[in-house]
Amino acid sequence: MQTARAAPSASSFNLALIALPLAALLGFGAAVALFAMIGALPLPAAATSIPTAAPIAMMPTAQPTLIDTPIQALKCRVTNPADTDLLVRSAPDEGFAPLGMLSARAGVQALGRTTTQPVWFAVGFAERRGWIAESAGLLAGDCQALPAIRNPLVPDAPADPPAHVIAIDRDGAGTFRESISTPGGDPEDLVWVRVINLYTAPPNNFREFTLSLECAGTGGEALRWGIVGSPLLRCGDSMTFPFIYGASDRPLTIQFPPGSPQAFVTFALRVALAAQPT
């Protein structure tokens, strides 16, 4: 029994009639490229095409870390208090892919807890370091010796010069930006604010400037800034300084005091002319 073959369509003959002269004129490779380009053009409105699924967004996965430090609280566990399984993440953030699931009412060895907010527990999971949010897990057992542990997603600020200078014209403004971190990296910056072009005689021998500090990052609530030796201001605070000819430099310190929890902050020190009373 022979199988009936479908008759070639008119468009197939037309393409064949076009392809042979083009191949002779342009060469085989160029003709193939031309027809590939024609085939990539949008279909006519009357034609239908197979819908293409939208790409699936993949969650980032942190490289699993081996448990390479001694366990300090052997009898401390992080438990799942829920009646459903709990995700154990590959990093301390909800946006990272899970290492696996912790069964309902089950527990795993606690390794430590972050000092950053929100708090995460580091746990031993399948011989790797996993992470469970404090909001989802509960500590059980003897956890007094559970150590503070670094959040691997919080970076360290690179080392920079021991002092910085920001020069401001007597009628101008400016911004200085840097980063500090603790306990690793650079925990303090010394910044000299210098007002230039002050004259020896009034009215241009004196100006008042308002200094303010804006912060972004993790742990900014511990940052202090202000006069060297007694920085008492916080992120978002401001103060006004007089600058006089012959005393036109003011040193400021921006720092994390010793003993501060893990933090990384990028700050912007803004200097602008103080508002004059009306």
Residue 192: per-residue pLDDT: 98
4 or 102, higher pLDDT: 102
| 110, 141, 172 - which closes a domain | 141
Q: Is residue 33 part of a domain?
A: no
Residue 257 and residue 190 share a domain: yes
Q: What is the pLDDT of residues 202-254, one digit of tens each?
A: 999 999 999 999 999 999 999 999 999 999 999 999 999 999 999 999 999 99
Predicted TM-score (pTM) of the model is 0.73
Q: Is residue 120 part of a domain?
A: yes
What confidence category does residue 191 fall into, taking pLDDT thresholds of 50, 70 and 90? very high
Q: Is residue 216 part of a domain?
A: yes
In SS3 terms, the chain reads as CCCCCCCCCHHHHHHHHHHHHHHHHHCHHHHHHHHHHHHCCCCCCCCCCCCCCCCCCCCCCCCCEECCCCCCCCCEEEECCCCCCEEEECCCCCCCCEEEEECCCCEEEEEEECCCCCCEEEEEECCEEEEEECCCCEEEECCCCCCECCCCCCCCCCCCCCCEEEEEECCCCEEEEEEEEECCCCCEEEEEEEEECCCCCCCCCEEEEEEEEEEEEECHHHCEEEECCCCCECCCCEEEEEEECCECEEEEEEECCCCCCCEEEEEEEEEEECCCCC
Residue 175 and residue 121 share a domain: no
| 108, 141, 174 - which closes a domain | 141
Residue 258 and residue 186 share a domain: yes
Q: Provide the CATH number for the domain around residue 87.
A: 2.30.30.40
Percent of the chain with pLDDT over 90: 71
Residue 267 and residue 170 share a domain: yes
Q: What is the pLDDT of residues 5-47, one digit of tens each?
A: 444 444 443 444 444 443 444 454 444 443 444 344 343 334 3
Residue 131 and residue 177 share a domain: no
What confidence category does residue 264 fall into, taking pLDDT thresholds of 50, 70 and 90? very high
- Tally of domains within the chain: 2
- Residue 186: domain span: 164-273
Q: Provide the CATH number for the domain around residue 200.
A: 2.60.120
Q: Is residue 252 part of a domain?
A: yes
Q: Is residue 12 part of a domain?
A: no
Span 127-153, average pLDDT: 95
Asked if the model's pLDDT at residue 64 lies above 60, the reply is: no
